[in-house]
Every structure is written in structure tokens, then in C-alpha cells.
Amino acid sequence: MTDFSLQKAAEMMNGRIINGQPSSIFTGYQMDSRLISSGDLFFAVIADRDGHKFIPDAAKNGARGAVVSRNITPPRKDFAIIRVKDTVTALQDLAHKIRTRFKGKVACITGSIGKTTTKYFTARLLSHRYSVLQSEGNFNNHLGLPLTLLRLSPEHDIALLEMAMSAQGEIADLTLVADPDIAVITNIHPVHLEFFNSIDDIALAKKEILDTMDPGGTAVLNADDPLIQRISQDWKGQSIRFGLSTDCDISAENIKKDSLSGIRCRLRYLDKNKDILLPFVYDSYLYNFLAAAAVAFSLDIRLEDIVEAAKFLEPLPDRGHLFHLKNGIRLIDDSYNSSPAALESALKSLSMQNKARKVAILGDMLELGPDEKDFHFAAGTQVQETGWDVLVTVGPLSQHIKDGAMKSGMGKGQIFFFKTSDEAAAHIRDILRKGDLVLVKGSRGIRTEKIVKFIKKDGF
């Protein structure tokens, strides 16, 4: 964390000191009054709520000052006030100034799915050699990304940042703040179609990271994604390609599933290769790992170190984590979010587990735009075609998953529909059996984590 005086902070944000001693020092930065630590500078951001209303709470929790965009009365005499035109712009300006002083590398990860998992895998591969700062949770937007940059300190060697978007121009704005040395594009899939007219528009929005990044940087690109190949054709800088094809710089060969223990493959690392066991079962996570390995390659990490670090990788909580419960039930908790591509990958990745009865508990997929019914119907078809024995659907849109499964030949007795996750949790005991393999996946708004919690607590 970089410490700044009130005077210096005001200069870096083009702000004006309204109250407080110019020499007072801030030791942290926050926009949530509940997370304030002693000595922090509070940004009164106007978003879903007006941050100015929470300045008294921030002061009570130890904030030393606040950045504001309107006249306020200081909650105490020594409470510093910096007045700016816009608090979000001030936050981003300060973050960018700190980034320009950072002598290490910044890697930014964008894509439709797998950003957080790719970031986590990358951090694990790099951490034995470098001090890595990574964004927390879903700090991947115009507020979260600059807050992460404000945590940079001279001890860090690498900063790993996520970039999400729901409109054209957002990735470009984030790229200008972060000024990445390395840009990763994991994939492009039909997500957030509520905000875009087509997947081509999504691709163009992702392309902004390449259009805005300095051409002296390195692009890490999924060579198996045709949209990524299309949008990167005019990239003039260095690129590292990852995927399953033989012309990639970083690739996986001789891929074999090792039951639920993981994926065995040969990792090809430019002109070197080595056999490796990756302790996760989703095929999509193999791509996340290859993207992480490509970033590691760009930062001179040896193949031997990659293989050793990979032994300790595992899915993040709520993103494909495997639990072994009593009575032989194996639960895959993938309740954090869902999209057509991610769901298809999960269904296919687990379809080879023929020794168990397979139960798919699937919630609505959100933000899919006018074709949302078709996407859900197609998901039901995939459930049947990939050999799942029981389907539990949750939420109003999931009725179309049910319809797709029935249309494809799945029997009525194999399908259960519930309006809410609470309702599904109340009836799940009557559906599950000893030895079942259970997948729980749904978008956050459906709260399928409630079903996971119930299954884990009861254990059956």
C-alpha cells in the first residue's frame, strides 16, 4: 500500500483541500464505509447509493478523510476533505498515477468466462518467484480495478487484474487506468447479451484491450477461439498463443481424464514438454491453466516450476469445487455463476462418470438478452445428450431447460422443476440417492448456493 499526504493525494486527483492538514498521511483507500481501517481515505462514490451519506460512518470507523464532489460538513475538525469534480474519476486518476510509478509488471485478464480462475491459476504459477498482487473477488470494474491498483506497494513484482464489462468502451477505459504490460483474452462467448446486440459486438468490446494497450506489450490469446483470432489480426505487438492445436506456443497434448482426480496431459511449453496432472475436471479449466502458463512463460517461469506449482491448483470456491459427502455423494459446487458455454463445459466434462447416477441441478442463466429462452432450451437438450440421469431446474427461465430435455427424450419422472432455490432445497432430500454425482450450477441471482449449503449440511 502506497502512503500519501493529503497535499499529494489532492494534487494527483486534481482536487482541492477543503479541510485538514496538508501533511496528514493516508495509509489506505476505500469506498465502502464498512471496510474502513484507521488512516484510510474514503471515496464518496455515487453509484447504487450516494457515498456522501456514509461519510459519518467512515469517520466513525477510522477514516482520516474523504474525497467528495459536493459541499459537506466535516464530521470532526481534523477530518480531511478533498473536493473533486467527480469521485469516480478521482479514484481512477489516483490509481493510474500509482500504476505509472510501479516498476513491476501489470497483467490484465478479460474474456467471457474464466477470468477469475485464470487469474487465480496465474497467481499460483508466479508466486514461487514473484510477489503477486491480485484483485480480490469480483473487483473487475471501473471501481474495483482502481481500488486494486491502490493496494500496490514497492514489494510487489506483478499485479494481476480482471477486466469485466457490460458496455462498449468500458474495457478501453480500464486499460487506460491499468496500462497493462500483458493482456490476456480467455475466450469470447454469448454472455451479457442483455447489453449487446450480438456476440460480434462482445468481441469488439474485448478487442478494446488490444486497441488501447501500448504496442510494446504482450497479448496472450486463445488460439482455438475464432473470434479472438479475428479481433487480434491487426495487433502489432508480441503475442503468445495458447490452446490445444499444435501451432500454439503453449498447448496441451495427449489429454486424458483421470476420473474425478483430474486431467492428465502433456504440457508443451514452446520447444519443451512435460507430462502433468491437473487436479480439476472441467475441460474449460484446462484452457484457464494454459492461459496462466502462457503468462508465466512471458515472465520467464521455467517449465519445471510450472509442473510443480500445478500440483497445488484447485477450483475456487463455488466454481467447480468437489466435495465428498457421506453415503458416497460427490457434489460439484459451481453455484457462483452460469452461462451457456460454461454450463455446456460442465455437463460434458462430467458426462464420462458412468459409475454414478448423475444429477444436474441447474438454475437460470441471466443477462442473455432476447434469445434467453433458446439458450435455456439448448441447455436442456445438452443435459439429455450428455447422459445425465436426473435434471432439477430452478427459476422461471429454467422451465425451458426442462422443455429442452423432455423434447430430446428425457422422461418426465427424471425431471423436477422448482420456482426458487429455497423450494428446491426443501425437496432435494427426496431426489438424491446414495452414490450420486451432483452438479449444482446457476447464475448468482438464483441463489443456487442455498441448495449447495443444504446438501452439504444434511450430507444424506
- The domain spans of the chain are 4-86, 102-310, 321-458
Residue 259 has what pLDDT?
73
How far apart CA 460 and CA 327 sit, in angstroms, is: 7
Encode pLDDT of 256-284 as tens digits: 987 788 899 999 998 999 999 998 888 88
Sheet holding 182-185, edge to edge: 132-134, 158-162, 105-110, 182-185, 218-222, 238-243, 250-258, 262-269, 272-278
Q: Rounded to whole angstroms, how far apart are CA atoms 166 and 408?
A: 34
The 10s digit of each residue's pLDDT in 135-180 is 887 788 999 999 999 999 999 999 999 999 989 999 999 999 999 9
3-state helix, strand, coil in the chain (%, to 5): 35, 25, 40
**Whether domain 102-310 has CATH 3.30.420.40:** no
Dihedral sign, Cα of residue 406, residue 410, residue 413, residue 415: negative
DSSP for 259-295, please give it. TTTEEEEEEEETTEEEEEEES---HHHHHHHHHHHHH
CB atoms within 10 A of CB 77: 7
Three-class SS of 300-336: CCCHHHHHHHHCCCCCCCCCCEEEECHHHCEEEEECC
How many Cβ atoms from other residues are within 10 Å of residue 321's Cβ?
17
| 18 φ/ψ angles, rounded to the nearest 5 degrees | -100, -30
CATH top class, domain 4-86: alpha beta
* Positions of the chain with pLDDT under 50: none
pTM for this model (two decimals) = 0.90
pLDDT at residue 47, as a whole number = 86
Task: Quote the DSSP letter at residue 23.
Answer: T
Pick the CATH number of 321-458 from 3.10.20.600, 3.90.190.20, 1.20.1370.20, 3.40.50.460: 3.90.190.20
